[in-house]
Amino acid sequence: MEQQINILISGGGTGGHIYPAIAIANELKLRYPEANFLFVGAKDKMEMEKVPQAGYAIEGLWISGIQRKKVLQNLSFPFKLISSLFRARTLIKKFKPTVAIGTGGFASGPTLYMARLMGVPTLIQEQNSYPGITNKLLGKKADKICVAYNNLERFFPASKILKTGNPVRQDLLSIYSKKEEGKDFFNLNNSQKTVLVLGGSLGARRINQLIESQLSFFDSQQVQVLWQCGKLYVDEYKKYNENKSVQVHAYLNRMDLAYAAADFIISRAGASSVSELCIVGKPTIFIPSPNVAEDHQTKNAQAIEDKHGAITIKEAELSNFPIVFETLLKDKGKQESLSENIHELALPNATSDIVNEIEKLIKK
């Protein structure tokens, strides 16, 4: 009789933790169609919506992170943590996972900690060049740690680390044959260059403010703007859709076609975005968010810039943007070298490589 395979996955808080978790689940489902899947997330976070949309069951924990600026909110943290540990224990006893996978975020801490304590093999997937506190703590006991950057031996036991890269949308692997389709889909002008602006799944206030202030500059350079401003900001910026060379979207459902249509990309430097942009291989300007744990976006962007694969502009230096962009726009050689160098850093087989490691734990 075949062993029943139960796969527990925890990760969330942001798209950067959720989408890798779903990509891993999808690949496991291809290999083990009869397996049972259970996701564990944080109540009120976006995974509670996104995971069911992807076709998987999810349970929520009452958990949140330490608030750096709202100290009073931290008074409830010990109660949330204890509650989440007990809830995770109950879920694990009932579900009986064969393996537990963590992709980062608040909920993965108590879930993976309790799974390991109860003898479940565990794998964590660290997306960033600088790990968050949850994965740093979990890494001490995890069976395997899949990473996307070099030099993470500072944070994790070297014997457990495997460099796989981050899971990305598989439809990105064929974007070079989709440029015309992308331009048609977004109704873009073939005689103009296109800049694609990405601020993450919720949007980035500072990037949106920058783009708003530079619309006449882009116009003067004959550059059209495909602008994903985020659902928090779409009401504020949708008025610019009246400008025929500007398109404002809360969210881009066909990211493959958006990437395919773009000549230049302006983006935050979250781990998933960086991994996607390495595969996309277009001239990229990173504007890292300074408001994230351990300033990890700046470190992610720096890892690419150090290999001459992108340009980084810090939020405090955005007054330099017009000069940087115009210089890039006029320098074909620079565009080509940025594209080649960032593309060389791509790890397109990440999902498959991570799932190969999970399979080893299942068979163990």
Question: Annotated binding site for UDP-N-acetyl-alpha-D-glucosamine, which residues?
Answer: 14-16, 128, 169, 201, 297
Alpha carbons within 13 A on the beta-carbon side of 235: 1
Pairing of strands 36-42, 144-147: unpaired
Rounded to whole angstroms, how far apart are CA atoms 245 and 75? 49
Q: How many helices (H) and strands (E) does the chain have?
A: 14, 13
Rounded to whole angstroms, how far apart are CA atoms 183 and 173? 18
Rounded to whole angstroms, how far apart are CA atoms 186 and 227? 11
Encoded tokens for 47: 């995974």
Q: How many CB atoms lie within 10 A of CB 137?
A: 14
Contacts of 244 (CB under 8 A, 6+ apart): none
What residues form the annotated binding site? 14-16, 128, 169, 201, 297
Indicate the residue type of 301.
A
